[in-house]
Amino acid sequence: MTSPIAPHLVLGTMYFGTKTDERTSFHLMDRYVAAGGRVLDTANCYAFWANPTGAGGQSERTIGAWLAANPGVREELTIATKVAQEPVRPGDFTEWEGLAPDVIATQFERSRERLGVDVVDLYWAHGEDRATPLADVVAAMGALVADGKVKRLGVSNHPTWRVEQARMLAEQQDVEPWTALQLTTSYVRPRPDTQVPGKDHRFGFVTDETIDYLTEHPEMECWAYSPLVQGAYDRADRPFPDVYDHPGTTARLAALREVADARGARPGQIVLSWLTQSTPSMRPIVGVSSVEQLDEALAAPHLSPQEMAALDAAI
């Protein structure tokens, strides 16, 4: 089966090797690639909180085992991983590795070894580290590209002003800049200036400023994690957190249901389509634990201009 939306979806692998066993993880990657998907997103810290040892690396290791079992598939894929959020001491979730140059260099090599690859296609700064000068972070990540170990750099959960500052530093240093953002967003959004339970990244959400920044910098790409708000669109047992309870959500959910019902689709499918077809477009990171969930995401329809306009008009 091929899927029109598959090339625009990123397969999130956070729980591969922990909550999602190796056999299921292999099936999910097989299915995703067979449908036309080509981008796997992981991190060196995935998933330390789900591992009895309190250390990450299971997701990367599972991807590496799958690549080894499927010779030739590596050349077709974009493999992305991250650094900054692994606990300094396994099981002690009070101190994180950060982005010091020696951490970046060491953790990159560990990630590359677990993945079993020569080159990482996209390497992310996973979270902020204001204890390390940003110029040093930029230089250390840029060195990975200069050495041929990484093709492209990205940044997750940083405020926009820090992103732009880092890009200016990269220009001054003549090294590779960040050209991708990874943040969370969806069709409905929480009330401004509220804390979403379970989301401890202060600058992890797409805002109107983010949209403006992406519009003015078309070379920047945005990957959207948690685009389906942990299943809240489609599962009664997973309601939206209270901070999503406002008139804008009510209007948007009504518009979403109207489009979904007319299409014979699930609201979550329409959300994925809307994200990929919006301007600027977003690349949703789909985290699934079963082939059935993946197939549902892959079946998301292409929306008409009229459907997109109706969804955009709801505020």
pLDDT in tens, 39-70: 999 999 999 999 999 999 999 999 999 999 99
Segment 287-298 shows an average pLDDT of: 96
- In this predicted structure, the answer to whether residue 241 has a pLDDT above a threshold of 70 is yes
Residues 6+ positions from 161 with CB-CB distance below 8 Å: none
Residues 6+ positions from 247 with CB-CB distance below 8 Å: none
Confidence band for 251, pLDDT divided at 50, 70 and 90? very high
Q: What angle do CA 222, 228, 230 make, to 5 degrees?
A: 120
The predicted structure's pLDDT at residue 301: 97
Q: pTM to 2 decimals?
A: 0.96
The predicted structure's pLDDT at residue 192: 85
Q: Is 93 among the domain residues?
A: yes
Residues 6+ positions from 252 with CB-CB distance below 8 Å: 187, 188, 311, 314, 315
The predicted structure's pLDDT at residue 104: 98
The predicted structure's pLDDT at residue 240: 94
What span, in angstroms and rounded, lies between the C-alpha atoms of 114 and 17?
Answer: 12
Q: Is 310 among the domain residues?
A: no
- In this predicted structure, the answer to whether residue 201 has a pLDDT above a threshold of 90 is no
Helix, coil or strand: residue 65: helix
CATH of the domain at 151: 3.20.20.100
Confidence band for 178, pLDDT divided at 50, 70 and 90? very high
The mean predicted confidence, pLDDT, of the chain is 96
Residues 6+ positions from 279 with CB-CB distance below 8 Å: 215
Q: Is 254 among the domain residues?
A: no
Segment 159-185 shows an average pLDDT of: 98
Q: Is 315 among the domain residues?
A: no
What span, in angstroms and rounded, lies between the C-alpha atoms of 197 and 206?
Answer: 16
Q: Is 95 among the domain residues?
A: yes
The predicted structure's pLDDT at residue 9: 98
Quick one: 171 exposed, middle or buried, by C-beta within 10 A (0-12, 13-18, 19+)? exposed
Q: What angle do CA 45, 121, 139 make, to 5 degrees?
A: 75
Confidence band for 1, pLDDT divided at 50, 70 and 90? low
Residues 6+ positions from 214 with CB-CB distance below 8 Å: 181, 220, 222, 280
The predicted structure's pLDDT at residue 101: 98
Segment 265-294 shows an average pLDDT of: 97
Q: Is 260 among the domain residues?
A: no
Confidence band for 198, pLDDT divided at 50, 70 and 90? confident
Phi, psi of 40 (to 5 degrees): -110, 130
Give residue 81's Cα distance to chain centre: 10
Confidence band for 143, pLDDT divided at 50, 70 and 90? very high
Segment 116-135 shows an average pLDDT of: 97
- In this predicted structure, the answer to whether residue 197 has a pLDDT above a threshold of 80 is no
Domain that holds residue 175: 6-237+268-302
How big, in percent rounded to 5, are the helix, strand and coil portions of the chain? 45, 15, 40
Q: Is 232 among the domain residues?
A: yes
Phi, psi of 10 (to 5 degrees): -105, 135
Q: Is 313 among the domain residues?
A: no
CA atoms within 13 A on the CB side of 114: 24
Segment 282-311 shows an average pLDDT of: 97
Whether the ω angle into residue 50 lies within 30 degrees of 0, i.e. cis, is: no
Query: Quick one: which H or E segment has residue 137?
Result: helix 134-146
Could you tell me what percent of the chain has a pLDDT over 90?
94
What span, in angstroms and rounded, lies between the C-alpha atoms of 240 and 267?
Answer: 14
The total domain count for the chain is 1
